[in-house]
Structure 1
Amino acid sequence: MPIIDVHAHVGRWQFHLTAGDAESNLRQMDRYGIDLQFVSASEAVVYDAVGGNAALGKVLAQQPRLYGYAVVNPNRPEESAADLRRCLDTGRFVGAKIHTHYPGQLPGTRAMAEAFDVVAEAGVPLLLHTWGEEVTLLPELLASRPGLRVIMGHAGGDAWREAAHAAASCDRLYLEHCRTATDAGRIAYAREAGVPVERLLFGTDATLIDPCVALGVVRDAGFSAEELEAVLWGNAVGLFGLPAAPSPDLPRL
């Protein structure tokens, strides 16, 4: 069965990790049968969005199994808007990524609203780092931005219940459940809250977290074979406009 990982990273982190280059990603992908991986640059997330995005672009040009998220810095919306356009013009970036804690801007702030406007204007999916009860503000933020589609990275983190209800109330919110703490029942709770399988995506947080964690969570969620296929790749194909399932030839966006 094909697998598309919609939440991963390339680069070194400030944590005690040995992984750092794209080869680390590819080794993990080969080990676990992941066909395509959508990545942001760790440098762009924690330090320099424009510089990190540019460095990632060079990596993507050499790695057809990796596609990029251009990191948008909520503190510099105009700079990020121009940079996002540059990244998307390369054809190697599929969407935008916004972290909340590193730039110090949570949903509900003016800066985050402006960053959402930047992504909405670009017309691409947004992978948003979510961790905390501020996820309850997302349906309202999307209501005023009709074209924006948001993947809730980590599915709210410790606020996964609140994230589930937020996603159930807005058909442009998607849940992606990668996290170091594998709280039992998170996916079942989301489904009971009313989140359809079509808005559940597979992500790993590689190379920060070994993909086996996310694979275990998804495979333990009680999906039927058809549902598992949708979560592991079909839903990503629809959201990102891939022409078909991953194949030996690899789809071009």
Structure 2
Amino acid sequence: MRARTQAPSRHRPARRSVGTQPRQNSRPKATEAVKTVEALHFRPRTDEDDSYIMDLTERELGRIHREAFGDPFPREPFLRYLQSGAPTVILEQGGHRIGYYSYLIGPDLKMHVTALVLDSVHQAQGLGRKVMNYLEEQAYTQGVRVMEVFVQDNNTKSLAFTKELGFTEAYRIPPNSICFRKTVAAQQGKTGGLAASVPATPESLPHPREGAPFVVPWNPEGPLV
């Protein structure tokens, strides 16, 4: 008796043709992340930005201010500071505001960074470091050789980030503020092609140690660093 030949299966496993590429991972590539950082734009603050700046600062740092000083966030003094003419720069990405920074340059050519605040959804992406590298580069071109910031001692993550930037503790101001300083060096390739004009400090504005109107809302990367 002849053996019955088994019919070929109609449900053979699919074969991958030679050279067929595996399914691409949907996660963004590292180069895409770099492009996002490089799309950061700077522009001078206008009066229309003031409510945004105040709301952002109170939202990101109001709790830290209350814990450090026992008072609500000082909106009116802060608004007076913004309208005094202190150089303040809006950070934009994709056509949307994501934060700001502000500073003063004293007659001794020392730059005091009075604020650097990013919206929480844009934190922990390296933008704070990018902005500080850019600002340090601009400071150097203006003859600044020392930068300083004040950080509240209960803002632990901003303290850590400030130290990572190379700032070292200089002195303390009761009850809760720590002054950090850094020697300014020329930046080489750290700004990723960012470009903008940084306004100079009006001569009529006081240096922070000569009666600045506002306690520093320093928030480079967070609270989330």
The TM-score with structure 1 as length reference comes to 0.25
Higher gyration radius (CA): 2
Structure with the bigger RCO (C-alpha within 8 Å, sep 6+) is 2
